Chain A
Amino acid sequence: MNENDSVPMVQMLSPEGEFAVPKNYAEYGSYIERLTEEDFLKFYRDMARCRRFDNEATALQRQGQLGLWIPAIGQEAAQIGSGYGVGHGDHIFPSYREHGVAITHGIELMSILKMLRGVNHGGWNPEETRFHLYGIVLGSQVLHATGYAMGVKFDGKVNTGNKADDLAVISYFGDGATAEGDVSESFLFAANTQSPIVFFCQNNQWAISSPTASQTRVPLYRRGEGFGVPGIRIDGNDVLASYAVTAKHMDDARAGAGPFMIEALTYRIGAHTTSDDPTKYRSDEEVAYWTARDPLKRFEIFLRRQGIGEDFFEEVAEAGEKLATEIREATFALKNPDMEDMFKHVYSQPHPVIDEQLDWLKRYEASFGGEN
């Protein structure tokens, strides 16, 4: 964490909750000036909602209700801030940890739980939500996003002269994914075609048990430079910086500025997934250091200084408990999908090979105790 101190980073909200826009980042500051109090409250509400959801989902996994859970605790500011910085027509290609971004784009949270229970494949329609399905294969979604952005460019939907018609794409990925060839290939294609895409890297400092230091010799925001993708580092635990920087570069991308990379320096407070035990590879001191930089805590201090009263925070806490109860009840009530369902979506029409496989599976299942 010490080596990070020397790297320039956009921060508007300090860990102590002090708000200040450095002069050289004034262009980002102007995005904050446009926000209303209601926007601030929405940011906080959604960060708190995300965390409560996360905690409940972790408990549900420990109770055998989910096959796996992927917590985003500690990364709420990076996700909620940037999620709201994305325009309404833009397309989002998430990794598998973007519950916060999902919240900002109206994804039904139960859909995520269903996927991690193994009863659906995500279940939302990316055409409607513009929030694409979770990319489980590391880095693959960055290629999909780049391809989509290239399509936008080929369709001439960039810098049309009418801002409402312009489109851009954002892809979320982690520090670990930057070590995948997919991400480098994406940089190359995005830069060469000058496609409208923002690469949003949440550097949570651990690729499962591999520290970022073992994956890169230069700060990650500079990873795209050689390809022609400029970048900037932001304090990923500062929801305002995350919002402003994302909003600005999505605007730029829509206006034809080409690709850009944002590295949000944050920290994964929880485990990589519920199958992981982070105490095996990182120290308590390190976790304590980052817990003190918690994104919710600093924003709460900021809001209280703005005059937001206890009522609001109580209301948020109550809403969190209500949400937890709702998803808990809904999760316990989930039914297993029908065996035949998995054959239904392979082809849009009946297909002889699929029919044969279904037929075989039925006979196979029957052979365990059936009469035939």
Chain B
Amino acid sequence: MPAIDFQPHAHDLLWGMSAAQLDAGAPDWAREVLAAAQPVVVRRGPAPAGQVAVGVRGRGREQRYASCMPLAAISRRVAPEQLTEAGAGQDAWPALRALAWLAPQLDALALSWGVTGGAGYQLATGVAVLHANSDLDLLLRAPQPLERTVAAELLALLDRALCRVDLQVETPAGAIALREWAGPAPQVLLKTNHGPLLVGDPWQEVAA
């Protein structure tokens, strides 16, 4: 096993978790996903020392199972930033064609961005989870505050894409929805490792 010298981030895909590492109450479909050597998705949440909070992804929205994975079991990690090449032909699902259209424009932002959700999972694994009505889920890393006017311009770009695009802005404190930050709400939902919070400034560190 390789030594793990990093802390995985929310939305990273991790390989190496075995069905035996699930708790006894885990559903059969989750065991089958891991027995097939599919990756798990890092989620935001507390985990015991030496472990990371993850979700197992099955078919459909109902098949999501929260668990924890030992860091020592990680054999491979793919971050959303590594999944920006849609390689989509004209016959690809709208989510992948939207990605191919958006990629050069997002590259021009000079901020790291990547693909999460079903599109990221499919690009990383080859497992066909997308369909004609799938959204495109994206992540943008914003270590410094993103002006709300800039957020509104970016949202206008995303709303011209071929399918619905959800972009999460990752701040040092957690993640917010670009759509909400681009709007007028004085307080926005910040998803942190310790649960969701309503905050005025999502770049301000929050006390645990």
Does A associate with B in a complex? no
Point out residues on A near B: beta carbons under 8 Å. Answer: none
